[in-house]
Structures are given as structure tokens and as C-alpha cells.
Structure 1
Amino acid sequence: MQIPKGKKIYFSSDNHLGAPTDEASLPREKKFVAWLDDVKTDAAAIFLLGDLFDFWFEYGTVVPKGFVRTLGKLAEISDSGIPIYFFVGNHDLWMNGYFEKELNIPVYHKPKEFTFNDKTFYIAHGDGLGPFDKGYKRMKKVFTNPIFKFLFKWLHPDIGMKVAQYLSVKNKLISGEHDATFLGEDKEWLIQFSKSELEKKHSDFFVYGHRHLPMDLDIGQGSKYVNLGDWITYFTYGVFDGENFELKTYK
């Protein structure tokens, strides 16, 4: 993609809408929708890097109740011709066609590379990458197993949603709660993963969510590691103007 003059690409992740309660997340949702309204004026594209919802499951004819402000705004922006790209997170990995059909938003379940103005981007939510976090990886295999998903969908949605939301909020391993302190490059798993990928193939930017901690670091060979933070504590997002990438805070 060649970014037109005066246009920018925006990146956001980890809203966890619906957590810890619908009432508590509503102000965050309204703030996020206001941000979408602002960025649509000069957006060449918008990337949402997962955990937009604290839980999401698509039954055959049912999707989770709520989030109409967000879904409506995404539909408006998509209908206007601005492309939106969605990467599933560990909280909304059970997507199965709704975004593509209703919102015309492609959904990615694995990392993907993009090139903008000759700058290469490695983009992913970030969960389970690299040789670390083996406990989560085992859990993810269960959650993504077709048999498990088949059995879960036969729960009545009212029951299934309540069980999943309870686990999502209460279980730190599932909920994505993280240490809000920078651990150092040798202990930050996504930084270590990015460096290992850099040895195989160059990317100018490695951009993730999941960690909930805004980071913008040089990792060598002219490459940058970026974590977008979240819309719970930091309200941070990324902007690429065709040459430079910057983390900003929405106020």
C-alpha cells in the first residue's frame, strides 16, 4: 500500500469492551468511538490488533449483545471506503465470519506482513508467539479445538456468555492481565520473539497488542518494536505517516 499524501495509518488494540462490567466499560467504549471519529478524517487504513472485546463468540445466528456504538462506527468507516483490518486476540479469537460479512473487515488469526511506502510491518496481536508461555499455548489449543468449539456452541448463549465472561475477568491467564512494569528486553517475550524473527527476515516495524504496556524500542538493524498499550489504562494508539511511527495518547 502506498499511503496518499496527508493520510496516515492508525493502530489500536486491547479495549476489552465489556470488562469488568458493561456499565464500567461504556465510558471507554464512547472514548474509543470518539477516537474513531477523529482518525477517520485522515486515515488511509485502521488496524485493530485484537481484544477489542473481553469476550466474543459467534454462534450460528447469534453474536454477543451490546457494543452497538463500536460496531456501528466500524460499519460507517468501512462503508466510507477506509479499509479496516482486524487481528483476533486471546479474548476474541472465536470470530467466524461476522466481521467479514457484516462490516467488510478482514479478520486475521495469525501474524501477517504488510508493506506501506516501502516500510515493512510484522503485525500480530502477540499472544503465544515464540517459545514461551507454554501454559497459555496449551490452553489456546483447547479453546481453538473444533470439538471444544462445537460443544461450547450448544450451550444456551445466556449460559455460555456468563461462564466465559466470568472466566475472562477472574482468570489472569485468560484475561490478559499483565505486569505493567517493563521487565527488560531479555524478559519481554515479544521483544525476544521479534529479535529472533529479525534474524530470519528484516521488518522495519514489529507491531503488537496483548502486553497492555506502551513501548517503542529500537531492537537493532534499523528495526523497531512497538506495543500499542491499551484502552483501559493508557488509551494509547499508533500512527504511521508514511515514514515515521509514533505512539500517541488519546485524551
Structure 2
Amino acid sequence: MTIRNHIYFASDFHLGSFPKESSVSRERNIISWLDFIKSNAAELYLVGDIFDFWFEYATVVPKGYIRFLGKLAELADLGVKIMFFKGNHDMWMFGYLEQELGATIISDELELSLNGKNFYIHHGDGLGPGDRKYKFLKKIFRSTACQWLFARLHPNLGIGIAQRWSKHSRAASNAEEKFLGEENEWLIQYGKELLKKKHYDYLIFGHRHFPYDIKLSDNTQIINLGEWINYSTYAVWDGEELRLEKWNS
């Protein structure tokens, strides 16, 4: 009998980002990781920017990712619980992934209690000090009016615009990001503010492409999951310990 007692967290796959060949290779790497975890995974948390662009029209979704989605379907059929967080690149998720995979869609933060430990999970976009321009744009992009207007565009035009924009994204640049130090990492600053209001044992974020695992105090750990363009990092909870690990296929 298979014992499923591990929980996995990953983010920022940026599937579909320019160039296409890099995305296809990355998809194969991710699938090999999913094959690895399927033997003991109870839950899988995909913490945003899984797709470099995603928009669900009433009868159309973006082409591609068929092997990735098929592997997720396989995990779901095995009983693995799948959670999708909306990121800044794939915030326009509506009902398709829920219907096809039985996934749960998380729009913002999620708080969990596992084995007496408190978890706070968020993609990370729009948190912390500064970046007022993006915070303003996020409100517009998430508005029902903006979504309704974009849905009026023919998919060839709407998705085509998004794909052209993808060529200028930081995912397409393939540049490795660097750790800026605790005083300059805004998600660390956000985490410290959270802890003033409530205790969490674990804070888990994506969005910031550099992976890190830091003790904010004797009993609080913050992890940024990193991206899969350069790092292929993820976190795993075995019921007692949360670890940041690197996948080597």
C-alpha cells in the first residue's frame, strides 16, 4: 500500500515563456520531477506563475502544456490534492483547471495548520513595501471589467499580444537573480510584519526568482521557492520538517 504523507511546493515554472524550445525542455524537466514525487505526494501546491500567460475564454484555453497537464491529471487520479495559486502571469484562472483536474484555485494567501505548525503561503506579488505601480495594475487586471474586456478579444489576438509581451519578461531573459540581503528582500520584510500580528512556523512564497531558506527567528522559517529556468528548486514537508531542495533530473 502506497503511503502518501509528503506535501510539495513549487512555483514559477513560466511554461510558455520565450523562447519556446527552452519552455519545452523545462516542461520535460518538471514532468520528471512530478514522476519522482508521485509515489509519496499527498498534496501539491503550485504557488503561482506556473504559466507565463494563462487566460480561460469560455471555450478556449492557451495551446501547449499538454504533457504537464496530463501528468497533473495522473497525479489527481492517484488521489494527490492539487492547489493552484494565481500569480502575476497567470491570474486569469477561472474554472477549467478545477473542472479538468479537480484542482483548488487560490487567489491570494492561504493559511494552513499541519501537525500543529502554522503555514502562510502566497505567490508574493504585490506584497511588501514599494512597487505602487504594479499594485495599482494588479487591481485593474483582477477586475471583472478588465477580464470581460479581454475576453472580447479573439484568442488569436489576445494570446498573441501576451506571447509578444512574454519575449520582454524577466523569465525570457534567462538571467539568474541574486539575493539582495535581508534588509532589501521585500518578501522578508513583509514576513517580519506578518509575524508582528500572528505567529507562523513557515512562510512560503514564490515570485522572487532567487530561492532562499532563512530563519527569521528561532521558530519561524521563510522559504522562497525560486524558479525553474535556472534553479529547479522546490520545498517538501514530510510532516516534521520543511526543506528547500533542488531537482536534478
TM-score bucket (shorter structure): over 0.9
Alignment counterpart, residue 48 of structure 1, candidates 43, 46, 49: 46
Q: Which amino acid aligns with 1:181?
A: K
Instruction: Please tell me the root mean square deviation across aligned C-alpha atoms, in Å.
Output: 1.9
The structure-2 alpha-carbon separation of the partners of 1:56 and 1:46, relative to structure 1 and needing over 3 Å to count, comes to: same
Q: Which amino acid aligns with 2:113?
A: T
The alpha-carbon deviation at position 245 of structure 1 amounts to 1.1
The alpha-carbon deviation at position 168 of structure 1 amounts to 3.0
Give 1:44-193 correspondences, 5 Å limit: 44-172=42-170, 180-193=177-190
Q: What is the distance in 2 between the residues matched to 1:25 and 1:168?
A: 12
The alpha-carbon deviation at position 218 of structure 1 amounts to 0.6
Note if contact 2:206-2:224 (Cα within 8 Å) is conserved in structure 1: yes
Q: Which amino acid aligns with 1:114?
A: L
SS of 1:225's equivalent in the other structure is strand
Residue by residue, what CA displacement relative to the aligned partner does 1:102-157 show, whole Å, maximum 9, x if unpaired? 11000000101011111111001010013421111111122112212111111110
Alignment counterpart, residue 239 of structure 2, candidates 239, 242, 250: 242
Q: What is the distance in 2 between the residues matched to 1:245 and 1:12?
A: 13
SS of 1:54's equivalent in the other structure is coil
> Mind listing any 5+ residue stretches in structure 1 that lack a counterpart?
none
Matched, 1:38 2:25: no
Q: Tell me whether 77-86 or 178-187 shows the greater mean CA deviation.
A: 178-187
| Aligned equivalent of 1:24 | 22
Alignment counterpart, residue 204 of structure 2, candidates 202, 207, 211: 207
Residue by residue, what CA displacement relative to the aligned partner does 1:135-185 show, whole Å, maximum 9, x if unpaired? 11111122112212111111110110010122233155x989987111111
The structure-2 alpha-carbon separation of the partners of 1:215 and 1:189, relative to structure 1 and needing over 3 Å to count, comes to: same
Q: Which amino acid aligns with 2:33?
A: W
The alpha-carbon deviation at position 21 of structure 1 amounts to 2.9
TM-score by length of 1: 0.93
Q: What is the distance in 2 between the residues matched to 1:175 and 1:85?
A: 26
SS of 2:138's equivalent in the other structure is helix
Q: What is the distance in 2 between the residues matched to 1:178 and 1:115?
A: 36
The structure-2 alpha-carbon separation of the partners of 1:226 and 1:167, relative to structure 1 and needing over 3 Å to count, comes to: same
Q: Which amino acid aligns with 2:225?
A: L
> Mind listing any 5+ residue stretches in structure 2 that lack a counterpart?
none
Q: Which amino acid aligns with 2:182?
A: E
Q: Tell me whether 47-56 or 239-248 shows the greater mean CA deviation.
A: 239-248
Note if contact 2:210-2:227 (Cα within 8 Å) is conserved in structure 1: yes
SS of 2:94's equivalent in the other structure is coil
